[in-house]
Chain A
Amino acid sequence: MAEWQNPNEDWRGVDVSQIRALLRLSVEERVKHMVDVANVFMSVRQQARLVGRNDSR
């Protein structure tokens, strides 16, 4: 396996451990989790801003 490869990924490159973790949840828990994820993404997009470069020259 190459150094950059994720051992949890199947042949499509999908992290199966994430799918299994979601399937262990009830539908209600799973939906709540994924909705929270979506809302975090939206919040980050709305609030985050680039403040400069990490220029070590």
Chain B
Amino acid sequence: MKFDPVGICRILTEEKVRFVVLGGFAAVVHGSPVPTEDIDVLPSRDRENLERLARALKRLNAAIRTSDGPVRTKLDAGFIANMPNMLNLVTDLGDVDLVFSPAGGLVGYEGWSVRAEFAELEPGVVISVAALDDIIESKTAANRLKDQKALPYLESLRDELRRQSEQ
């Protein structure tokens, strides 16, 4: 199976879903050299947006991702609304993690949108990407071994971006 995060974002934007991309893929957009094999998406939780998200997930043929393989269930707005923290999905275009409660001090789509930036992944596909500072703060708060491994790369990326902006 091929990972196609641009294709995933294309479908989300076509369905007019409001979301912020976080995590490793957001860091890649900023310039991180750490590859990732999934995309973390924080959607707005209003009912209308979850309806749009459900339509996008249907187009992506999404199923719940478990360690024992995919589990097919109806991923409608009601189901998604009942997820408190996270929903791991496998889709035709790769793995998607719906993250509702990311680690760190920012809360929800509104909190993460404040400093998010727009990035054009391909003509016509413009997404909201979490600020690098917010990604670093969240990974620092999560403090899992994989975050500890990624943070040096993100912090060095931030240093380089600052250095280039000062020139």
What 1/0 flags go to A1-44 for Cβ under 8 Å of B?
00000000010111110111011000110111011011101100
Interface residues of B (CB under 8 A from A): 1-6, 28-29, 31-33, 35-37, 119-122, 152-153, 155-157, 159-161, 164
Q: 6 interchain pairs (CB within 8 A)?
A: A10-B156, A23-B31, A28-B120, A28-B121, A35-B3, A37-B35
Contact B156 A34 (CB under 8 A): no
Within 8 Å by CB of B33, from A22, A27, A42, lies A22
CB neighbours of A20 from chain B (8 A): 160
6 new A-B contacts, CB < 8 A, other than A31-B121, A35-B5, A38-B37, are: A10-B159, A12-B156, A31-B29, A38-B35, A38-B36, A39-B2
Within 8 Å by CB of B6, from A12, A35, A39, A42, lies A35
Interface residues of A (CB under 8 A from B): 10, 12-16, 18-20, 22-23, 27-28, 30-32, 34-35, 37-39, 41-42
Determine the residue in chain A with the shortest Cβ distance to B119: A27
Within 8 Å by CB of A31, from B1, B28, B160, lies B28
CB neighbours of A42 from chain B (8 A): 1-3, 37
CB neighbours of B157 from chain A (8 A): 19
Contact A12 B152 (CB under 8 A): yes
CB neighbours of B35 from chain A (8 A): 34, 37-38, 41
Contact B28 A41 (CB under 8 A): no
Contact A30 B29 (CB under 8 A): yes
Contact A34 B28 (CB under 8 A): yes
Contact A19 B29 (CB under 8 A): no
Within 8 Å by CB of A12, from B29, B120, B155, lies B155
Determine the residue in chain B with the shortest Cβ distance to A24: B31
Give A30 to B33 CA distance when docked, in angstroms: 9
CB neighbours of A23 from chain B (8 A): 31, 160-161, 164
CB neighbours of A19 from chain B (8 A): 31-33, 153, 156-157, 160
CB neighbours of B29 from chain A (8 A): 27, 30-31
Give A39 to B93 CA distance when docked, in angstroms: 12
Contact B121 A16 (CB under 8 A): no
Contact B33 A15 (CB under 8 A): yes
